[in-house]
Amino acid sequence: MKISLITLLLSICSVSFGQITNYQNLLDTAFSGHNALFVYSKPLKITRLDSIEMQEYVEYIKEGSSQNLDTTMFSQIIHNSKLVDTTLWTDKELPGVLLINENDETVSKKYVLQKLGLIDDKKIKLYKKLINKFNSTEAKDRNLYYFSRPVFDNSKIFAIIQYDNGHSGLSGGGGIILYKLQYDKSWREFGIIDIWRY
């Protein structure tokens, strides 16, 4: 009895740590695909998924990747999106972006230099320029990205992330991207299931 309990606990721990590694890889894949530098620290709620549109999601994927997917997976993701985690992003989760807490916030150069570990003079000069531009832009016009946390299907093989970078009410846009876990335990973008422009 004790041996089986210990075995069970060890397997749960190994699955949990494995999921953390996979989760971080998914975040890295998703965020690098957008070239987002300034990211709002509060994750988006998933607002654009609709069970009525499931067949359209299947068609989008089929057009983009020639893959046929079952609507069951989308149904699970839609159901699971109602319980999505909206705790604030952390610098540890998103090491390559600058987290912004308020639209009108002034970004500290010290924060940027420390977080990104910049030592090259050319890069420091470039980032200072980007920060000055961001800080001098009106809050409503800033190129600020918003991302949801990933939502998984029940098998944890597929996940979606919703993003948006609308600003000024006139430019930008967003979308919902589907990711798939690979055999080597890395994640890759599988296709776009919805996209919009402002």
pTM to 2 decimal places: 0.83
pLDDT at 168 over 70: no
pLDDT at 12 over 70: no
Which residues lie closer than 8 Å to 91 by C-beta, 6 or more apart? Answer: 99, 115
pLDDT of residue 137: 92
Domain count, the chain: 1
For 73-97, how does the pLDDT look when each residue is reduced to its tens digit (9 = 90+)? Answer: 999 999 999 988 899 999 999 999 9
pLDDT of residue 140: 87
151 with 86: CB under 8 angstroms?
no
Of 164, 159, 167, 169, nearest in space to 147 by CA? 164
Over residues 169-177, mean pLDDT: 81
**What's the CA gap between 174 and 161, in Å, rounded?**
11
Question: What domain range includes position 193?
Answer: 2-197
